[in-house]
Amino acid sequence: MSRARRSSGDGLDALLAAREMVIVAGSGGVGKTTVSASLATAAAVELGGRVLVITVDPARRLADALGVGALGNTPTQVDPELLAAASGRAPEGELWAAMLDTKAGWDELIARHAPDPELRETVLANPLYRNLTSRFVHSHDYLAMEQLHELHGSGRYDLIVVDTPPSRNALALIDAPRRMREFFGSRLLKWLTTPYRSKVFSAASRPFTQIADRILGSHFVEDIAEFFTLFQTMEPTFVRHADEVEALLGDLRTAFVVVTTLEAAPVHEAIHLSTELTRRDYPLAAIVTNRALPKSYTGRAAATSARRLGAEAADESSAMVATVAERLEADAEQVAAVLTETAERFGEIALIATREAERRSELSELAPLLVTAPPLEHDVNDLSDLLELARHLRSPAR
Ligand SMILES: Nc1ncnc2c1ncn2[C@@H]1O[C@H](COP(=O)(O)OP(=O)(O)O)[C@@H](O)[C@H]1O
Ligand SMILES: [Mg+2]
């Protein structure tokens, strides 16, 4: 840990100050990347310490928002002067950003785990390795875990905020360590790693290897056996890391934040995800409802105003319409049409806001904290936008 963070405030601030890792999950397009970057930026500016935001969902937007063009596996510091300019103050801490690159990730992983340089080179040069690492089921999730292990274990960061792929995948991310252990214990791996010669010449597997050779090239089976035999020698380290990551994710150093908008489908996903996290005993700390309509739209007063406005606009002798038209130097009929439309649309929006409020209250049952951000007028593209969003997320007034 480089520096202590300020542990003032409550809500999300308390979370950002106390936890070492915040994992942001939710459906696609709800604002996970934006919220992750926003929370990390605010934490770096206000709470201090060294804060890293890492995305496992390679969205260019995060890179753009953080002003770092080509993010890779290696964390890059966001220019402190840019951070100061965007926040209008001297930041308390540092902001770092990284993005997961699957291919480079595997190579680094092998390099890290290979017991000796010769083995490392053999694995890296293996054609099957090159082929498999791009297709290995859940390899992306496993790598994310492995990278978290590495970055968290380095002790270089006080807080790591992790953006994730869409929600079902977020569970896959959590399951990755277990799946890795299972893979090493699997019969498939045992079969693959039985000595090549005996397998090729055994009567049972001959048809398979012959077909495989014909379709995939004569070295396929040899490559596969070699690859997995090498891979297996790295089992103890892989499995130890998987165990450690699993422990880290499950204890109070970590907090899960589920992000959702208030449309039906993302809310459904958020409920599924939150319920699953809790059922599996992972520390779900907060749900963020993003791009939510203001609660005030749902009030009786607003509905009454809209209804009266509609009635006035429909009244041909309305003094109000005449006054507005005069004020705007516009045609009274046009003004009446605009006001009628506005009143009707408000009714529709209020209905949506009412539905949103119901969904919010359903979500509030699932996590200790529910915070809401409104739709900003513009896309969230730069550090100032991120800080603007963070002000909403961190504001205690709910
Ligand atoms: N509160 C908000 N107000 C306005 N635009 C937002 C807000 N939250 C997110 N966005 C925009 O929505 C889009 C999707 O957000 P993003 O964070 O990439 O979603 P995800 O990572 O969940 O797929 C982006 O263009 C982002 O700028
Ligand atoms: Mg994203």
Q: Give me the average pLDDT of each 10-residue run along the chain (398 residues).
A: 53 92 92 94 96 76 66 82 95 90 66 79 77 61 77 94 76 78 72 59 58 58 69 80 88 94 95 94 95 90 93 93 95 95 93 94 96 91 93 77
Same domain, 197 and 227: yes
Furthest CA-CA distance within the chain: 98
Residues with Cβ < 8 Å from 46, sequence gap 6 or more?
6, 13, 92
Q: 95: closest CA among 78, 75, 76, 73? A: 78
Residue 216 has a pLDDT of: 54
Q: For residue 202, with 0-12 CB atoms within 10 Å meaning exposed, 13-18 middle and 19 or more buried, which class applies?
A: exposed
Work out which ligand 1 atom sits closest to the CA atom of 373.
1
Ligand 1 contact, 371 CB (< 6 A) = no
User: Would residue 141 be called left, alpha or beta, if left means φ above 0 and alpha means ψ between -120 and 50 degrees?
Assistant: alpha
Residue 3 has a pLDDT of: 45
**Residue 364 belongs to a domain:** no
Q: CA 12 to CA 285: how far, in whole Å?
A: 9
Same domain, 103 and 6: yes
If you take atom 16 of ligand 1, which residue's CA is the nearest one? 31
Write down the H helix ranges in 219-294. Answer: 220-233, 235-250, 264-279
Residue 393 has a pLDDT of: 95
Work out which ligand 1 atom sits closest to the CA atom of 380.
27
Residue 4 to residues 159, 285, 387, 394, Cα–Cα distance (Å)? 11, 21, 21, 20
Distance, CA 43 to ligand 1 centroid (Å)?
19
Ligand 1 contact, 392 CB (< 6 A) = no
**Residue 273 belongs to a domain:** yes
Residue 1 has a pLDDT of: 43
Distance, CA 165 to ligand 1 centroid (Å)?
14
**Helices and strands, number each (H, E), in the chain:** 19, 8
Residue 245 has a pLDDT of: 87
The CATH number that applies at residue 99 is: 3.40.50.300
Residue 2 has a pLDDT of: 44
Same domain, 397 and 256: yes
Residue 277 has a pLDDT of: 94
Same domain, 194 and 309: no
Question: What is the pTM assigned to this prediction?
Answer: 0.82
**Count: domains in the chain:** 2
If you take atom 9 of ligand 1, which residue's CA is the nearest one? 31
Ligand 1 contact, 55 CB (< 6 A) = no
Same domain, 203 and 336: no
Ligand 1 contact, 261 CB (< 6 A) = no
Same domain, 321 and 395: no
Residue 267 has a pLDDT of: 97
Ligand 1 contact, 396 CB (< 6 A) = no
Ligand 1 contact, 389 CB (< 6 A) = yes
**Residue 206 belongs to a domain:** yes
Determine contact, residues 216/187, Cβ cutoff 8 Å.
no
Same domain, 52 and 198: yes
Q: CA 300 to CA 391: how far, in whole Å?
A: 28
DSSP 8-state secondary structure symbol assigned to residue 101: -
**Residue 367 belongs to a domain:** no
Same domain, 134 and 175: yes
Q: Structure tokens of 51?
A: 């804060």
**Residue 366 belongs to a domain:** no
**Residue 41 belongs to a domain:** yes
Beta-sheet strands, E only, within the chain: 21-26, 49-55, 76-77, 93-99, 159-163, 254-260, 284-289, 370-372
Q: Which ligand is nearest to the CA of 26?
A: 1
Same domain, 339 and 397: no
Mutate to test the pocket of ligand 1, among 161, 273, 380 (most ligand atoms within 8 A of CB): 380
Work out which ligand 1 atom sits closest to the CA atom of 392.
1
DSSP 8-state secondary structure symbol assigned to residue 316: T
Q: Which ligand is nearest to the CA of 390?
A: 1
Residue 296 has a pLDDT of: 87
Q: 386: closest CA among 39, 4, 95, 55? A: 39
Same domain, 70 and 164: yes
**Residue 368 belongs to a domain:** no
Residues with Cβ < 8 Å from 232, sequence gap 6 or more?
184, 189, 193
Q: CA 22 to CA 259: how far, in whole Å?
A: 12
If you take atom 8 of ligand 1, which residue's CA is the nearest one? 31
Q: For residue 278, with 0-12 CB atoms within 10 Å meaning exposed, 13-18 middle and 19 or more buried, which class applies?
A: middle
Task: Using DSSP bridges, classify how beta strands 49-55 and 159-163 pair: parallel, antiparallel or unpaired.
Answer: parallel
**Residue 43 belongs to a domain:** yes
Same domain, 327 and 397: no
**Secondary structure of residue 28 in the 3-state scheme:** coil
Same domain, 4 and 125: yes
- What range does the domain containing 341 cover? 297-357
